[in-house]
């Protein structure tokens, strides 16, 4: 099938590249001429493992191309995917749908044959209805069927998620549109990925409900971690003990500094705004958002306590800055709030991250960036593990301690056993561990 992918951000680029790898003929469209030229040269706008090789292979195979002009790609397409950004709108937290509606208007003008128009962007309930209205008013003769097809891609594992999904959600009440979507995803048939066909509004809500639930699991175990520190329990054992219950599951039960990234923060806010608009409050999600915001700031105070309660004039080495490993995404990363708290307390900060430094520079103009964790730790009064990159999972702890002015290790991801850290000469501080009761 011929597919036009409108938007070459994270979702659009990964989806377009994967569809082309299935054998579809895909054109990815973006108004940013510099980005399109870079993509044509094989330069990726984001860091995602395996994406550059995937794009290169399918461009070479003639199945994937890039363009700034939407009209030719849409005119030839059997399916047009809208994969533009929906950032939180300033002031009220609602999803900014201006890019989605703008794309719908342009698509309507360019349609030349029957096609499915698929909203891949994360959008509030009812957005598909408005997209359909826009297309019908702008192009009454166009036989376009509007479908919701939310994405469930994890940054750092997006290609695997796309090719081996837990489920594929398709929102449409139109039989022909559903069949077209089945054909698009037919290459996944052998993987037996469940294709869930629902109403369009249901599909839109599934995406938000899924992210809100995962954010809730993260926030729940973070609060349990705080309780563990007070009562002398170990949150990792608690997580394992409850996660082995099949009704709960072990995923997203790892205590840490709070969730961040491009999805959970904005999607929980957008869901709350929808609930408010429909006068159906979501008290649990409200609490999740509030607790998570407080959590990030609390991590800065935790580091200060590990420094003896006074960070003024001390050097802190942060290891990992991105909101999670295997991405260069700094959006809503816990490290931002930690840096702010430490700077407010008078600390000097040195940081290392394998991929996120260029994104972090404009957000953290006062800190010093290092090329290795050992360089970051040189002369530091504390080292803080913020993001669990693979390269940070097997550090030479004795070498790290020897380079520091004071051997204080704050592990905000509980990567290292307390005994191992202390045997290397550190004073160890983790998350939700019994030893924290004494510090």
Task: Show which residues are catalytic.
Answer: 263
Tokens of 437: 């009761």
Nearest to 430 by CA among 8, 422, 18: 422
Give backbone dihedrals phi and psi of 172, rounded to 5 degrees, phi first.
-165, 150
The residue with tokens 């702010």 is: 340
Beta-strand pair 144-148/427-429: unpaired
Q: Which residues sit opposite 395 in a β-bridge?
A: none
> Does residue 195 contact residue 166 with C-beta atoms inside 8 Å?
no
Selection from 391, 386, 374, 387 nearest residue 410 by Cα:
386
**Cβ contacts of residue 204 below 8 Å, gap of 6+?**
119, 123, 124, 125, 126, 127, 128, 148, 150, 171
Q: What is the Cα gyration radius of the chain?
A: 24
Give the other-Cβ count within 10 Å of 50's Cβ: 13
Q: Tell which residue, 56, 185, 153, has the closest CA to residue 66.
A: 56
What would the DSSP string read from start to end of 288-334? HHHHHHHHHHHHHHHHHHHTTS--TT-EEEEE--SSSSS----TT-H
Beta-carbon neighbour count of residue 380 at 10 Å? Answer: 23
Give me the half-sphere count of Cα atoms (radius 13 Å) on the Cβ side of residue 298: 15
Q: Please list, in sequence order, all residues whose beta carbon lies within 8 angstroms of the beta carbon of residue 190, skipping any fewer than 6 positions away.
A: none
| Under 8 Å between Cβ of 321 and 353 | yes
- Tokens coding 313: 């004039």
Q: How far apart are CA 345 and CA 317, in angstroms?
A: 15
Write the CB contacts of 366 (distance below 8 Å, at least 6 apart in sequence).
Answer: 343, 349
Distance CA 21, CA 55 (A): 9
CB distance 18 to 4 below 8 Å: no
């Amino acid at each position: 099938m011929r597919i036009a992918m409108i938007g070459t951000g994270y979702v659009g680029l990964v989806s377009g590249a994967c569809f082309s790898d299935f054998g579809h003929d895909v054109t990815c469209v973006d108004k940013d001429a510099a980005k399109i030229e870079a993509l044509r040269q094989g330069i990726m706008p984001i860091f995602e493992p395996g994406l550059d090789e995937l794009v290169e292979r399918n461009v070479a195979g003639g199945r994937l191309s890039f363009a700034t002009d939407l009209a030719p790609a849409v005119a030839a397409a059997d399916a047009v995917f809208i994969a533009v950004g929906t950032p939180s709108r300033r002031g009220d937290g609602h999803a900014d749908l201006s890019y989605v509606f703008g794309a719908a208007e342009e698509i309507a003008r360019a349609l030349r044959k029957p096609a499915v128009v698929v909203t891949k962007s994360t959008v509030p309930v009812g957005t598909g209805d408005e997209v359909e209205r826009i297309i019908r008013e702008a192009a009454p003769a166009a036989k376009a069927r509007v479908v919701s097809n939310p994405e469930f891609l994890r940054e750092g594992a997006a290609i695997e998620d796309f090719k081996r999904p837990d489920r594929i959600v398709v929102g449409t009440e139109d039989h022909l549109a559903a069949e077209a979507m089945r054909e698009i995803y037919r290459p996944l048939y052998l993987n037996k990925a469940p294709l869930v066909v629902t109403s369009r509004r249901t599909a839109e809500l599934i995406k938000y409900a899924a992210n809100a639930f995962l954010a809730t699991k993260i926030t729940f175990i973070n609060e349990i971690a705080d309780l563990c520190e007070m009562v002398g329990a170990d949150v990792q054992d608690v997580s394992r003990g409850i996660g082995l219950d099949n009704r709960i599951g072990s995923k997203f039960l790892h205590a840490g500094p709070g969730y961040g990234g491009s999805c959970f923060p904005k999607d929980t806010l957008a869901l709350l705004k929808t609930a408010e608009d429909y006068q159906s409050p979501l008290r649990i999600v409200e609490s999740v958002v509030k607790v998570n915001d407080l959590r990030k700031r609390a991590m800065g105070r935790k580091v200060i306590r590990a420094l003896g309660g006074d960070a003024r004039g001390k050097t802190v080495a942060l290891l990992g800055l991105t909101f999670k490993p295997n991405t260069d995404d700094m959006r809503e990363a816990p490290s931002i709030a930690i840096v702010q708290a430490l700077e407010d307390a008078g600390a000097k900060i040195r940081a290392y991250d394998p991929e996120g430094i260029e994104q972090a520079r404009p957000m953290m103009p006062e800190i010093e960036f290092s090329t290795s964790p050992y360089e970051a730790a040189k002369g530091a009064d504390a080292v803080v593990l913020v993001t669990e990159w693979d390269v940070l999972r097997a550090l030479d702890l004795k070498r790290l301690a020897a380079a520091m002015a004071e051997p204080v290790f704050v592990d905000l991801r509980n990567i290292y056993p307390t005994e191992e850290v202390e045997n290397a000469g550190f004073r160890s501080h983790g998350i939700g561990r019994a030893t924290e009761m004494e510090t």
